[in-house]
A and B are shown apart, each in its own frame.
Chain A
Amino acid sequence: MKSRTALIWAAIVLLTVLPLWFAAVPPAEPGSTAPEPFSGADGRAQQAITTIAPDYKPWFAPLFEPPSGEIASLLFALQAALGAGVIGFWLGTSVAREVRGKESAQDERAD
């Protein structure tokens, strides 16, 4: 069980890291520049829309846009931290509860 958990973690890390070396960045579409390596798929889709429908004009703009890439990554990090914090709290209380359960079981036997 323990070793299988480690194996799963290793697979996740490899799946995430290996593409950095083995990815093929697609060639430039006719009429547009080559995409930046490892740019977001959402942005690529946006680019594809402009090649399919060059006349399409977005009819609504975001109300607020992060003023820079740094601010955007701050907000993404904040989102991830919120999620990770809650998961960490759950794991912490769960482990503590398990330990306490074992201790009280031992105490009962000792009595």
Chain B
Amino acid sequence: MHIMEGFLPPAHAIAWAAASAPFLAWGLRSMGRSLQAYPERRMLLGVAAAFAFLLSALKLPSVTGSCSHPTGVGLGALLFGPAAMVPVGFVVLLFQALLLAHGGLTTLGANVFSMAIVGPFVSYGVFRAVAALGLSRTVAVFLAACLGDLATYITTSAQLAWAFPDPVGGFGASFAKFAGIFALTQLPIAISEGLLTVLVVNAMARFNAHELRLLPVMALAKGRAA
């Protein structure tokens, strides 16, 4: 989902940065307040950030014969709310832009928007919707992480299609092309991310029941997890 350095026209780069900045400020505030109120959550926030660091470094092979990576931000969004994952995703993307030439500073705003904003917010929304339907926590966590991951890659496809519409088919043709590269590749990887997130949430439910008792991920679908 990384749009490479310099591969968004300046107007797009600035617009995406401007769109992402308020979310980053909101996320930092929400994270700070949460840690002030519940200092015992510091460890789990660290685990959620570490999960994003680990997963976004793993480039996995996929059915389209190319490689892509999970994002790992769904887990933290379920635990601490979607805003808290904006700063985490920002740090991961900054690390990769500065040290790995993966993504870039000019495309940081757009990449933050897809991975650290759309992904976590979709995950959180899906989780709330599935939990409201009365399905088990396992199903809710799986769908949330899986669909959030896919949403990130669909967003990247739309961002590129918007910046580079096909000379004949316009936005639609271009979007189909980029989605073929990103979203299709991402399908099995998103399923893996959903499954992995279920495993981590199960471990947290077992080991950190006390710290998590007030969090929606534990409260909403409580008692239904097998």
Contacts and interface: CB of A to CB of B under 8 A. Distances in A.
Given A19-B61, A76-B57, A83-B51, A41 B68 contact: yes
Interface stretch (B15-23, B116-124, B190-198): B190-198
A75 B207 contact: no
A97 B43 CA distance: 14
Contact of A60 (B54, B105, B181, B182): B105
Contact of B195 (A12, A37, A72): A12
A58 B46 contact: no
B178 A48 contact: yes
Interface residues of A, number: 58
A65 interface: yes
A10 to B, nearest CB: 10
A50 B1 CA distance: 17
A39 B104 CA distance: 19
Contact of B67 (A38, A65, A83): A38
B67 A76 contact: no
A91 B203 contact: yes
Contacts of A41: 62, 64, 66-68, 181-182, 185-186
Interface residues of B, number: 72
Nearest to A40: B67
Interface stretch (B32-40, B91-99, B127-135, B214-222): B91-99
A15 interface: yes
A87 interface: yes
A53 B9 CA distance: 12
B53 A44 contact: no
A9 B203 CA distance: 14
20 contacts: A11-B191, A15-B189, A15-B192, A26-B65, A35-B66, A39-B67, A40-B68, A41-B62, A41-B186, A44-B66, A49-B164, A52-B177, A72-B101, A75-B100, A76-B100, A79-B53, A79-B54, A80-B58, A82-B53, A98-B206
Interface of A: 1, 4-5, 8-9, 11-12, 15-16, 19-20, 22-26, 35, 37-42, 44-46, 48-49, 52-53, 56, 58-66, 72, 75-77, 79-80, 82-87, 90-91, 94-95, 97-98
Q: Which 3 A-B pairs rank lowest in CB-CB distance, beginning with the nearest? A: A83-B54, A58-B6, A83-B53
